[in-house]
Structure formats: structure tokens, C-alpha cells
């Protein structure tokens, strides 16, 4: 908009200057007095006129009187005796020559407004067309794909980690783009398209860029939403233009991100923009595998919703392969962390394998954010290197939110939270199949007043009944500790009960883990479990509710027995939390074994540990996550 305003102002200035110049060249007429023709004739007869300038049409007369004053008059009819009278009274006569044509300057002055309007219109049209760069409103039919040359892409397979299977799957594309004859001489055909499927942040776009970087070919990138426009036919036009441009740069790669924006099932909607989207999809289907195939053009698309794509788009000849780019496992997370750790100075105590074990469910983007947050923590502490403490603090912030040290809590609130979290931790450490406790804290983070964090030894792919039952007991440990050691109940366990009920309901209605109800699904996927379910009767629903109640009560009893038998451990752990606010795995292990734990590293620096008195009430229970929260 600034450039447009500057250009308009420039044109206005130029127009004003031209008008001033033209006016300077126009003849300057002295001030004259208009008189009636009869008065002019009388002045001639009285010898008051000195000279007369007769116009070419002999109707208009400019005269000069004897006293030097000027005047002008118009003869109503052509006077034949006027010349004789002027000669008789010795008046100087001047006759203007007949005009042979229109002068250049008069023509310019007459047409200047029209020229200015036309010039301004042409200028605005050029601006709408984006100066010929294909970015303006009048170029909406052109492709918006961004072209990156083979020398511009610096990403290679060495920069992609955590998805070895996906890299192997797309490795053939690199070999084909480097040496197509190796495959075509045996009659083979390289896949026309590759669809990358996976959750957000797993590296689908990065993998596509790495393919282009390894093959050293041009790379066109565009989003699925860039094809959609308010004008009918624009999407199809952009698809045609994109493939025509790509064929000129073949061999090359076209990468379409979020293809589900234009590749949804056809016929699932009605009218308007839906028809436009279908036209765009139809054109894409034709371009990928129609009468005129795009030789040397490989289409790579990414989506996290493959279930909504049209079947014609997924058939062989278009997207021949579907490459799963899932969340990385513990080995993949370690490799990804090492890739991102190259960019930051690391302390010797940083262990990528420990961090990988403590970040289950993290995507590649989450791990990149973890390294960045750790670097920011180190910068705030004026360190020259990023150490393990920075990574642990960054991990806690990402998982549980930032610490709320300014939050004012009464001492009885802190004491109740300490017992609550101690109950979770002691039950978790006492059950054989439960993940070991990594950290326990009563420092408020996010919406949680306290957190008990369990760190799995390895990634869990499937859920098993014994582990799920132990998870129920761990969730009940917080409320039971409040009942036993504080003698009251609080709302802090509401989220624990919600998660426990949901887990037990899934065991009964979805997973067939109940001996009473058997291996049958009682949950309606559309209506959900409850009064509106159409799959079970009211009598069966009562049996389901009773079985859920039985499982919850049984695990509630298991947790209570553990805490009753280990009262001294709970007391010691609560005292340690009240003093240090956060204890780690080594301290939890020492407390479970009856030993006195060592103080946590750096706890002396925490001068404001939260021992403040106020009438502030605790917030509502937080939303559940991968950790047990109060």
C-alpha cells in the first residue's frame, strides 16, 4: 500500500507540472472591455478608434482606442461598409489569417484530462496485476507455487531423523530423479505421486525438501488452500498453470501441503464453493494421470487426514504410495535431538538418550521447541553452554506450563497438595507394572497445583489390562492420601476421578476387559456411551455401569491398602516436598527405601518457596495429561 500511494502521488505531481507548463505556453490576453457593436461604430465615426484586429471569421473585433484602452465587440451580421468606414477614419486594420488546423498545444490542453484518466487507469491495472509478477488480483488464474532452484535447497537426508522407514520409502524417488534411465530401461515406472501421512510436526514437509535437496532438482511448494478462490474456475486454472510450469522445469518435484483442502470426497456437499473445489480436484486428477502425463514431474503431498481424501486421488497412477511419517520412537527422538543440538553449545552433562526417554509422544517439532526453550533458559541464566538442568526445566515447562511462583498459597493448601502428590507417587512406586516416578512437585504450574510425573522405561504401543488397573490405583492415590493424612476432601482430585472413570468405561465398553460383560463393544461410536446410545438396552446399560463401579472400587481399595501400609513413607515424602517443593527420582527412591534423601541441586537459590499466607483459593482442577496432576 505504501508503494501504491507513492506511485499515485508521483502521477499527480507529474500531471500538475504538465498543466502548469502548458498554461505557461498559452497566449496571455490583456484585459479588454466588451462593448456593443453600435457603440463601436459610433466610436469609429468620432475618430476614437486607433486600430482594429479582425478575427478570421470576421465577426469578432479587438480594437484599441485613441486613449490606449482596449476593447472587443462582436458584429451581429457581416457589415459590408465596415472596412470602408475604418479606412475613411484612418483606423489601422489587421486581419487574422484563416486557421489551417488545430495547434499541438491546444490539442494537448483539450485532451489532457482524458489522457490523465487513461494513464491513471492503466497504472491501477498494472498495480492490480502485481507489476507483471503474477501477484495481483488480475492474475488470480496463475499458479502461486513457489519455485526453489536446485542450488537453493540445502536440506538433505542428514537433516531428517526419526523416520528411517519413510526415508527408505522415498529413496527411490531420489535415484529416479538422478538417473531415470536406470528404471525406465527395464520397463519400470517410478511412482507419479507420494502421499505423506502423519500427525502435525512429524517432518513431512522437511522430508519432501530433503528429497529435492538430495536429487538436486527444482522444487515447487504450494498449500492446498492456495488453489481455493472466490472466483469460479480459478482453482482449476492454477492447477493447469502449475503443472505447465513444472513440465518446463522437469525433472522436478511439486509439493502440495495440506492437500485435504482440495482433495476431499466429491459429492459430499452442495453448490457454491464446493463445486469450485470439485473442479479444482478434477483438474488435478487429469494433470496427474490423464491423456497427457507429466513426465518427470513427481507430486508429493502431505496431510494428516487421509480418510477424507477422494478415492480417485489415491489410486495407482496418481498417488501410488502412502508413506507413514508417524511420531518418533525413543531411538528416533534421540536422533532428532542430536540433529537440533548441533546448533547450540552443549555442556558435557547433556544426555540425549535420557531426554528421549523422558519425552514420549513428542513430535519432531516438539523436540525442536524443547532444544530452543533450553537455550532460552541458559541465556536467561547468563550461561555459556546449555546444560541438563536447562533441558529439564524446558521439558517441565512444555509438559506442565511455566512455574507460577507469584501465586499465593496458604500453608494448609501447600500441606494438602504435598500429601496429595505423595499419595500418587507412593502408589506408583509400589506397583510392579507402573512406570517409575521421575519427579514430584508442589510448585504450581499452568492450571495444576502439583504434579507427579512418571517416566516410562520405553514407549508403550499397546495398552494392557494389568497396567490400566494399576493406573486407576495411582489416580486414586491422591484423594486417599488426603482422607488418611489430612482428614478432608478437596476438589483437587476431580480430574483424577474423571480420567479414572473414562479409563474404566473404556475397559468395559470398548476393549472387552471385563469378565462379566465379555468381549463385546457396548459403546456407540456415533452417539457415544450413555442415554442416547442405540446399541445397548437399558438393562445392559445398568450392568455396564455396575461393572465400571466394581473396577473403580477394587482399585480404590488397592491404593488405600498401599498407603495405609506405608504411612511413614508418605509422611516423609510430604515433609520433603514442603521443604524443597520439588524432588526427583533419586530422592523418591531414597524415601521409598527409608533413607534420608540429599537436597535437590540448586534448591538453596529458591528463596521464595511459596511459604506465604493468604486467603487466595486454589484454582479448579487442571485438564489431564501424560502426568498425574492435582
Query: Is it the case that residue 529 has pLDDT exceeding 60?
Result: no
Please give the pLDDT value at position 409. 66
pLDDT value at residue 417: 84
Say if residue 545 is preceded by a cis peptide, omega within 30 of 0: no
Domain boundaries for CATH 3.40.50.300 within the chain: 146-324
Looking at residue 370, what is its pLDDT?
A: 92
Helix, strand, coil percent content, the chain, rounded in steps of 5: 50, 10, 40
* Of 184-188, 407-411, 463-467, 510-514, the least confident: 407-411
The mean pLDDT of the chain is 75
Fold annotation for 146-324: Rossmann fold (3.40.50)
Is 6 annotated in a binding site? The answer is no
Contact 448, 630 (CB under 8 A): yes
Of 560, 592, 578, 422, nearest in space to 484 by CA:
560
Which tens digits make up the pLDDT trace of 554-567? 999 998 888 888 88
199 is in an annotated binding site: yes
Query: How crowded is residue 579: how many other Cβ atoms within 10 Å of its Cβ?
Result: 14
Q: Is the pLDDT assigned to residue 394 strictly greater than 80?
A: yes
pLDDT value at residue 76 = 67
Map residue 184 onto helix, strand or coil. helix
Q: What is the pLDDT of residue 439?
A: 78
In this predicted structure, the answer to whether residue 141 has a pLDDT above a threshold of 60 is: no
More confident residue, 483 or 250: 483
**The pLDDT of residue 23:** 59
316 is in an annotated binding site: no
**How far is the C-alpha of 574 from the C-alpha of 567, rounded, in Å?**
11
**30 three-class SS:** coil
Task: Put the strands of the sheet holding 92-95 in their side by side order.
Answer: 33-34, 70-74, 60-65, 49-54, 92-95
CATH class of the region 330-400: mainly alpha
The phi, psi pair for 152, rounded to 5°, reads: -85, -20
Query: Among the options 214, 421, 482, 547, which is catalytic?
Result: 421
* pLDDT (mean) for 494-512: 88
Look at residues 301, 297, 296, 366 and name the one whose alpha carbon lies nearest to residue 328.
Answer: 366
Helices (H), 410-537: 411-430, 465-481, 494-509
**402 known ligand binder:** no
Is 438 annotated as ligand-binding?
no
Query: Residues in the chain, how many?
Result: 630
| Cell numbers that stand for 207 in this block | 522430508
Binning pLDDT at 50, 70 and 90, where does residue 29 land? very low
Question: CA separation (Å) from 251 to 192, 215, 244, 254?
Answer: 12, 10, 13, 10
Confidence of residue 375 (pLDDT cuts 50, 70, 90): very high
pLDDT value for 157: 81
Query: Could you tell me which residue, 530 or 313, shows the higher pLDDT?
Result: 313
Q: Where are the alpha helices (DSSP H) in 438-584?
A: 465-481, 494-509, 538-565, 567-580
pLDDT of residue 371: 92
496 annotated among ligand-binding-site residues? yes
What does the block give as the cell for 584? 526427583
Nearest to 233 by CA among 199, 185, 169, 279: 279
Residue range 120-147: mean pLDDT, rounded: 55
Which residues on neighbouring strands pair with residue 628, listed in sequence order? 452
| Percent of the chain's residues with pLDDT above 70 | 74
Q: Which among 93, 154, 123 is positioned nearest to 4, based on CA atoms? A: 123
DSSP annotation of 485 reads I
Q: Does domain 411-629 have CATH number 1.20.58.760?
A: yes
520: pLDDT strictly greater than 70: yes
373 is catalytic: no
- 204 annotated as ligand-binding: yes
Each residue's pLDDT tens digit, 45-77: 888 888 887 776 656 777 788 777 887 877 766
Q: How does DSSP classify residue 271? A: S
Most confident of 23-27, 34-38, 92-96, 191-195: 191-195
Q: DSSP secondary-structure letter at 530?
A: S
Give the side-chain half-sphere CA count within 13 A for 438: 18
pTM: 0.62
374 pLDDT tier (thresholds 50, 70, 90): very high
Q: Per-residue pLDDT for 406 more than 70?
A: no
**Chain region(s) in the chain for CATH 1.10.8.60:** 330-400
Amino acid at each position: 500500500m505504501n508503494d501504491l500511494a507513492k506511485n499515485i502521488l508521483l502521477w499527480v505531481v507529474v500531471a500538475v507540472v504538465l498543466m502548469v507548463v502548458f498554461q505557461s505556453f498559452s497566449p496571455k490576453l490583456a484585459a479588454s472591455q466588451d462593448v456593443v457593436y453600435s457603440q463601436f461604430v459610433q466610436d469609429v465615426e468620432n475618430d476614437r478608434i486607433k486600430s482594429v484586429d479582425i478575427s478570421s471569421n470576421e465577426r469578432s473585433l479587438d480594437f484599441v482606442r485613441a486613449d490606449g484602452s482596449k476593447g472587443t465587440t462582436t458584429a451581429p451580421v457581416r457589415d459590408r461598409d465596415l472596412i470602408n468606414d475604418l479606412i475613411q477614419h484612418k483606423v489601422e486594420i489587421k486581419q487574422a489569417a484563416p486557421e489551417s488546423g488545430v495547434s499541438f498545444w491546444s490539442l494537448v490542453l483539450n485532451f489532457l484530462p482524458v489522457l490523465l484518466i487513461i494513464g491513471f487507469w492503466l497504472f491501477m491495472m498494472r498495480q492490480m496485476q502485481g507489476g507483471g509478477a503474477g501477484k495481483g488480483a488480475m492474475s488470480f488464474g496463475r499458479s502461486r507455487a513457489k519455485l526453489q532452484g536446485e542450488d537453493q535447497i540445502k536440506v538433505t537426508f542428514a537433516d531428517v531423523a526419526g523416520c528411517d522407514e519413510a526415508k527408505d520409502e522415498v529413496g527411490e524417488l531420489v535415484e529416479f530423479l538422478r538417473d531415470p534411465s536406470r528404471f525406465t530401461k527395464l520397463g519400470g515406472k517410478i511412482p507419479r505421486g507420494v502421499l505423506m501421512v502423519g500427525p502435525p510436526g512429524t517432518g513431512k514437509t522437511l522430508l519432501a525438501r530433503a528429497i529435492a535437496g538430495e536429487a538436486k532438482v527444482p522444487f515447487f511448494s504450494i498449500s492446498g488452500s492456495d488453489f481455493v478462490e472466490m472466483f469460479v474456475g480459478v482453482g482449476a486454472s492454477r492447477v493447469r498453470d502449475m503443472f505447465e510450469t513444472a513440465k518446463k522445469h522437469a525433472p522436478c518435484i511439486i509439493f502440495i501441503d495440506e492437500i485435504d483442502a482440495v482433495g476431499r470426497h466429491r459429492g459430499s456437499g452442495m453448490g457454491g464453493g464446493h463445486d469450485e473445489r470439485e473442479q479444482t480436484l478434477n483438474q488435478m486428477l487429469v494433470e496427474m494421470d490423464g491423456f497427457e502425463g507429466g513426465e518427470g514431474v513427481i507430486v508429493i503431498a502431505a496431510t494428516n487426514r487421509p480418510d477424507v481424501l477422494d478415492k480417485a486421488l489415491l489410486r495407482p497412477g496418481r498417488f501410488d504410495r502412502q508413506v507413514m511419517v508417524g511420531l518418533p520412537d525413543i531411538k528416533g527422538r534421540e536422533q532428532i535431538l542430536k540433529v537440533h543440538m548441533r546448533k547450540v553449545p552443549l555442556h558435557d552433562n547433556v544426555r540425549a538418550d535420557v531426554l528421549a526417554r523422558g519425552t514420549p509422544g513428542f513430535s519432531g517439532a516438539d523436540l525442536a521447541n524443547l532444544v530452543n526453550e533450553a537455550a532460552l533458559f541458559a541465556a536467561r541464566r547468563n550461561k555459556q553452554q546449555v546444560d541438563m538442568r536447562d533441558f529439564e526445566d524446558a521439558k517441565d515447562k512444555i509438559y506442565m506450563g511455566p512455574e507460577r511462583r507469584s501465586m499465593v498459597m496458604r500453608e494448609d493448601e501447600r500441606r494438602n497438595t504435598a500429601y496429595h502428590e505423595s499419595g500418587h507417587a507412593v502408589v506408583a512406586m509400589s506397583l510392579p507394572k507402573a512406570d517409575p516416578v521421575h519427579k514430584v512437585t508442589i510448585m504450581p504450574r499452568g492450571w495444576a497445583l502439583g504434579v507427579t510425573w512418571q517416566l516410562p522405561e520405553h514407549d508403550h504401543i499397546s495398552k494392557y489390562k494389568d497396567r490400566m488397573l494399576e493406573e486407576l490405583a495411582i489416580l486414586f492415590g491422591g484423594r486417599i492420601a488426603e482422607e488418611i493424612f489430612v482428614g478432608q476432601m478437596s476438589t483437587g482430585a476431580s480430574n483424577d476421578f474423571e480420567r479414572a472413570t473414562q479409563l474404566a468405561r473404556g475397559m468395559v465398553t470398548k476393549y472387552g476387559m471385563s469378565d462379566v460383560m465379555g468381549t463385546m463393544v457396548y459403546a456407540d461410536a456415533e452417539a457415544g456411551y450413555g442415554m442416547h446410545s442405540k446399541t445397548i438396552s437399558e438393562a445392559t446399560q445398568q450392568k455396564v455401569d455396575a461393572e465400571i463401579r466394581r473396577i473403580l472400587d477394587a482399585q480404590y481399595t488397592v491404593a488405600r491398602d498401599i498407603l495405609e501400609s506405608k504411612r511413614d513413607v508418605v509422611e516423609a515424602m510430604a515433609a520433603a516436598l514442603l521443604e524443597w517443593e520439588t524432588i526427583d527420582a533419586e530422592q523418591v527412591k531414597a524415601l521409598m527405601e527409608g533413607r534420608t534423601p540429599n537436597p535437590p541441586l540448586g534448591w538453596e537459590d529458591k528463596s521464595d518457596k511459596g511459604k506465604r499466607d493468604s486467603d487466595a483459593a486454589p484454582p479448579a482442577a487442571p485438564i489431564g495429561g501424560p502426568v498425574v496432576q492435582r
